Amino acid sequence: MIVPAFNEAASVADTIRSLQAQTARPREIIVVDDCSTDGTGDVARALGVTVVRPPANTGSKAGAQTFALRYVRTSLTIAVDADTVLAADAIERLLPAFGQPRVAAACGFVLPQRVRSVWERGRYVEYLFAFTFYKQVQEYYGKPLISSGCFSMYRTTILRTQRGWSDRTLAEDMDLTWNLYQAGYAVRFVPEAVCYPIEPRTFRLMGTQLQRWSHGFVQNVKLHWRDLLAVPYLRSAVAVAFWDATVAAAVYLVALPALALLLASPWVLLGYVIDAPAVLVPVLAGAFQRREVGRALASVPAFFLLRTVNAVFFLRAVCAELLLGRPLRHYKKGH
Amino acid sequence: MNAGLPGTGIGGIFYLASALVMPFREVYRRLRGHPVGDWRVVTGQLAITGGILGAMWVTGWLLGLALATARPIGTAGAALPPGNVLRFVSIALAFGTLAAVLAGVELLRLWVHRGRRSASHIRQETPLSHERSVVQQWRRVASLVVLAVIAAPVSLAQSPRRPPMRVHLARADSAWAARAESVAAREYAAVLAADPENSHATYRLAQLTRDDPAALRLFQRYVELEPEDPWGYMAVADALSRAGRYAEALRSYDAALRLAPGEPEAVAGRAKVFAPARAAAPAVTPLVSGSRDSDGNTTFRLGGSAELQARGPLRLGVEASHDRVTDGVSTAGLAQLALRAAWRPSRLASVEGALGGTRLERSDSGSTTVVPTGRVRARWRRSTHGVTVDVRAQRAVLAASPLLVNNRVLRTELRALVEIPVTRTLKLRGLGRTALLRDTADLNHRTALGGVVAVALSPAIELSGQVHQIRYSHASTAGYFAPRLAQVVEAGSYLELETPRGWLLAIDVGAGAQRVAEFGGQPGPWSRALRWYSLITAPLAPGRALQLEIEGEDSMVAREAATTAGAWRYGSAALSLRWAL
């Protein structure tokens, strides 16, 4: 089990404890102290796990994870972010997915660890929506779009064949997932395996994360589009996501206000929330299973704010990466 | 991370449509015999989809009402209520956009993955190169859009005609790359209809119809078209071996090796089919056996079997034997002839059976009678170490003594064994048997129940504790011992040793105690019950082996054989030689 960590002293202990409390306990927990300056390595060492440290900061999560891959001696490798805690049975729930030899990776249901600020609330609803509806449909068609980077399990031999995680894009999890599909492997989504990452609390942190995600998505589409065309269903899912990130975002940010001005009707602005009842259905279905209906209802308005901000970042990323030829290369942590 | 903007744009419509397709896909897969998905997921997602559609409908209706009070919605919808216009326009726009995007992706795919690739490429599928510049790739996309715009009116103006062969080939290759097998097969077939000598399409179509005997003919056709390609011969060999024609597969591998000496896949493939080629070859197995029990009954059997060449999972054969049974005073005879078949559809399931007749030669009158006899056995194992079910039905003549033969005692039996592995080493077995014993004057009923706890010390050694109980409905004077009740408690051991050269030794022994209650009486004292069975197989050459079976029993009521008296000892030996032709 690999836990990449750079200056995560505040959260890595919770992560390690949640791993040590698993019903299916990992054989070895390897924390990659990516040359932290806040004593992350010491915290991890005190909890009795293996700590490895590269000679210099690897510059990205992908670099830190790939550095640790050489120390893995098990047939399955789990990558968990240092700010993520797992439900006690998460690993146990994920393991059966590897009963089929073609399965190279599996991921679980993601929910924010803390749901307090408006951004955390927005992300909470976004995850409830996406993991209750979109991802489950993707799983049914055998093509989850991404094996989430915050918690995924991989078959080690295949991971090594892929040379670990690549830092050529800012979304190493998406890059690896799509590479696996192109190599003919399967990826699974197991909704019962739940993990809880810490989500950005403030707008600044959220902005950093959204910038990384949006650029990472566009970079991956740019890099993989040709090969993705050979992967059924995934090609449609990616095309639709790309369309929404570009055209739909433009309509959302430009066309709706322009139309409201043109028609001099504030009713048009209802377009921003017109799908609220439809969004509520999967959100409440997911929240009901977790007995969090009240929290979900209270968080729904934040989702629409986050979605608007999200649209801005995706549109900017598309312009920068594809039209202006200014790719983002520097990996910045989102919190 | 999430891609796109959940809930917005055509993403939501795409997943709604995907969820709506799920039940139809499930039904289609079920009808086609494909593995079906999880209906729980399907119904769950359908429920969510239904909720979303309902929410959308209500939203559109409410919004229409609100807008109707604010201002009219244009002239186009003047005849319709505003809610309907909104719903119609938004649904048409959303689905139209989604359809356009998806169609665009498919067009792009056809264009990008067009072109013909040789059969040698088929075997070396590598991820497409990323090295082409992004600028070049996007230029192609733009060109495609321009071409599509220009070509559309032209195509519409033209009369419908069949697409040229290269279009079929491009479509086929794209479908192949996308693993859309039925589409690829249809397109390759179209290519072959236009160009019957297209070796690439022939090879690919053969690959796509692997489970069909037609695949073999296509691979053979490919070999005719490309006689210098060793991979063609290897594909033929592979198809032949799948069809169970191992000897021909061997010859094809030899042909491949002549063209590509030392080719690892051909060497490995040849090695793989060599043993089954000998095992599947026609074989004869002469057999001689004899037995003697404590009542002075002696049997002598001369017989054998012949197996035809195995055809895939099916193997047919014939077996015959002649037995002489004597008690020192009189002698009876039996002649058996049966056709037999064995079907092994998978590694974990098998069915075998034999159907024929047995001619009984009575010792007292010298008359003969022919009775139909047969057996069928089905075995299924869930996985290598999973639950096992073994069901057998048999109709046979009891021929342990001349008296039994003279009385024409026939046993029709149904038995079942279920083995449940509790852990990798601990197994529980339950046995149940019910049999009708019919003779010239009487009909008796025998039931047996048993339980076994077995511990595997290693894959080759097993220890067990067993309890069995046997009951008859009434006593018999036909020549077999039929107590009211027999109980057996036994410790057993099974050992199997195999050497790298193919020698096999299997020993199944049991030692315990049993007691018997005759009709009208209480169970008697416990007495010993011993049994021994051993099998030695000596390989002589590939496909040829000598086999010796030795069996002994010292008990009042045997579980398998028919004991002729209340105190009974028995020993037998059988020697057979399997000779693959």
Q: For chain A, 335 residues long, give each residue's pLDDT as a single digit of tens.
A: 999 999 998 899 999 999 999 999 999 999 999 999 988 999 999 999 999 999 998 988 999 999 999 999 999 999 999 999 999 999 999 999 998 888 999 999 999 999 999 999 999 999 999 999 999 999 999 999 999 999 999 999 999 998 999 988 999 999 999 999 998 899 999 999 999 999 999 999 999 999 999 999 999 999 998 888 988 999 999 999 888 888 888 888 888 888 888 877 777 787 788 888 888 999 999 999 888 999 999 999 999 899 889 989 988 998 888 888 888 877 776 55
Q: Under an 8 A CB cutoff, do A247 and B104 touch?
A: no
- A30-33 and A2-5: which strand pairing? parallel
Contact B395, B372 (CB under 8 A): yes
Average pLDDT over residues B363-390: 87
CA angle A244/A246/A252 to nearest 5° reads: 70
How many residue contacts between A and B have a Cβ separation below 8 Å?
176
Burial class (CB in 10 A: 0-12, 13-18, 19+), A23: exposed
In A24-83, the residues whose Cβ lies within 8 Å of chain B are: none
Alpha carbon of A179: minimum distance to chain B alpha carbons (Å): 9
> Does the pTM exceed 0.90?
no
For residue B204, CA distances in Å to A184, B192, B200, B208 come to 18, 11, 6, 6
**Which of A134, A270, A322 comes nearest B6 by C-beta?**
A134
Contact B101, B93 (CB under 8 A): no
**Which of A182, A307, A311 comes nearest B127 by C-beta?**
A182
Q: Under an 8 A CB cutoff, do A270 and B3 touch?
A: no
The sign of the torsion formed by the CA atoms of B105, B106, B111, B115 equals positive
pLDDT of residue B471: 92
Lay out the sheet containing A76-80: strands in order across. Answer: A50-52, A30-33, A2-5, A76-80, A151-155, A103-110, A186-197, A84-86
Q: How far apart are CA B341 and CA B355, in angstroms?
A: 9
- B504-517 and B527-541: which strand pairing? antiparallel
Q: Under an 8 A CB cutoff, do A278 and B52 touch?
A: yes
Q: How far apart are CA B45 and CA A214, in angstroms?
A: 28
| Lowest mean pLDDT, pick from B13-22, B80-89, B464-473, B511-520 | B80-89
Q: How far apart are CA B5 and CA A314, in angstroms?
A: 9
Residue in the block written with tokens 């199944």: B508
Q: Under an 8 A CB cutoff, do A140 and B2 touch?
A: no
Between B569 and A81, the more confident residue is A81
Contacts of B47 in chain A (CB under 8 A): 285
**Which of A237, A239, A248 comes nearest B5 by C-beta?**
A248
Q: How far apart are CA B162 and CA B166, in angstroms?
A: 11
pLDDT of residue B158: 38
- pLDDT tier, B54 (very low <50, low <70, confident <90, very high otherwise): confident
Q: Does B10 touch chain A (CB under 8 A)?
A: yes
pLDDT of residue B136: 47
pLDDT of residue A75: 92
B567's torsion region: left (phi>0), alpha (psi -120 to 50) or beta?
beta
Q: Does A279 touch chain B (CB under 8 A)?
A: yes
Using DSSP's 3-state secondary structure scheme, residue B473 falls into coil
- pLDDT tier, B150 (very low <50, low <70, confident <90, very high otherwise): very low
pLDDT of residue B75: 40
Average pLDDT over residues B53-66: 78
User: How much helix, strand and coil, in percent to the nearest 5, is found in chain B?
Assistant: 35, 35, 25
Amino acid at B34: H
Angle at which helices B199-208 and B165-177 pack, to 10 degrees?
A: 40
Using DSSP's 3-state secondary structure scheme, residue B75 falls into coil
Residue B333 tokens read as 């005879």
Q: Which residues contact B261 (CB under 8 A, 6 or more apart)?
A: none
Q: Under an 8 A CB cutoff, do A281 and B52 touch?
A: yes
Helix (H) or strand (E) holding B36: none
**Which of A145, A222, A303 comes nearest B3 by C-beta?**
A145
Contacts of B22 in chain A (CB under 8 A): 137, 140
Residue B336 tokens read as 């058996």
Contact A50, A19 (CB under 8 A): no
Chain-centroid distance, C-alpha A268: 33
**Which of B7, B42, B180 comes nearest A307 by C-beta?**
B7
Contact B319, B338 (CB under 8 A): yes
Q: Taking the C-alpha atoms of A194, A197, A203 and A204 in order, what is their torsion angle to the nearest 10 degrees?
A: -150
In B62-81, the residues whose Cβ lies within 8 Å of chain A are: 63, 66-67, 70-71
In B128-157, the residues whose Cβ lies within 8 Å of chain A are: 128, 130, 132, 134, 137-138
- Asked if the model's pLDDT at residue B486 lies above 70, the reply is yes
pLDDT of residue B6: 52
Alpha carbon of B87: minimum distance to chain A alpha carbons (Å): 12
**Which of A229, A241, A265 comes nearest B11 by C-beta?**
A241
Indicate which of A133, A227, A246 best probes the interface with B, i.e. most B CBs within 10 Å of its own CB. A133
pLDDT of residue A239: 92
Q: How far apart are CA A307 and CA B5, in angstroms?
A: 6
Q: How far apart are CA B130 and CA A225, in angstroms?
A: 10
Contacts of A270 in chain B (CB under 8 A): 63
